[in-house]
């Protein structure tokens, strides 16, 4: 009897820990999930080096992405991805607007785009 009680408690603990892990994995974190994508595909032209930075846009700093940097325009509008300039650029059907540009030869994968969303 007692061993069944311990098994039930252990099972409940495992279930709670599993659910908590799934919930944490589902939450997108800028530093952990988004920044590595932007670093690989975007920060050569939108990063620290002001001499090579285009459109006065920094994507290497969360604060600059969410509030705007020199440009004053937020690249990502939290909770409104379809209204975000970054979203419009990475999902554009217009090759002149699409980011990263085709000549970059490193297009974003669908999973990257969904993570940024």
Domain for residue 49, yes or no?
Answer: yes
- Contact call for residues 75 and 86 (beta carbons, < 8 A): yes
- Reported residue count of the chain is 117
List CB contacts of 17: < 8 A, sequence separation 6 or more.
none
pLDDT value for 23:
47
Domain for residue 46, yes or no?
Answer: yes
88 pLDDT more than 70: yes
Structure tokens at 85: 């300039």
Query: What is the span of the domain harbouring residue 87?
Result: 28-116
State how many domains the chain has: 1
Q: What is the pLDDT of residues 34-77, one digit of tens each?
A: 999 998 898 888 888 888 888 888 888 888 888 876 667 788 88
Q: Where are the beta strands (DSSP E) in the chain?
A: none
pLDDT value for 1:
60
Rg (the chain; Cα; Å) = 20
């Amino acid at each position: 009897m007692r061993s069944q009680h311990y098994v039930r408690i252990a099972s409940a603990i495992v279930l709670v820990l599993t659910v908590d892990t799934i919930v944490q994995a589902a939450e997108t974190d800028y530093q952990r999930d988004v920044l590595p994508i932007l670093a690989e595909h975007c920060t050569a032209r939108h990063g620290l080096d002001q001499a090579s930075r285009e459109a006065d846009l920094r994507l290497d700093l969360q604060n600059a992405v969410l509030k705007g940097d020199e440009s004053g325009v937020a690249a990502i509008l939290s909770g409104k991805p379809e209204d975000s300039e970054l979203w419009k650029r990475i999902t554009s059907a217009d090759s002149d607007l699409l980011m990263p540009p085709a000549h970059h030869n490193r297009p974003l994968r669908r999973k990257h785009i969904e993570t940024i969303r």
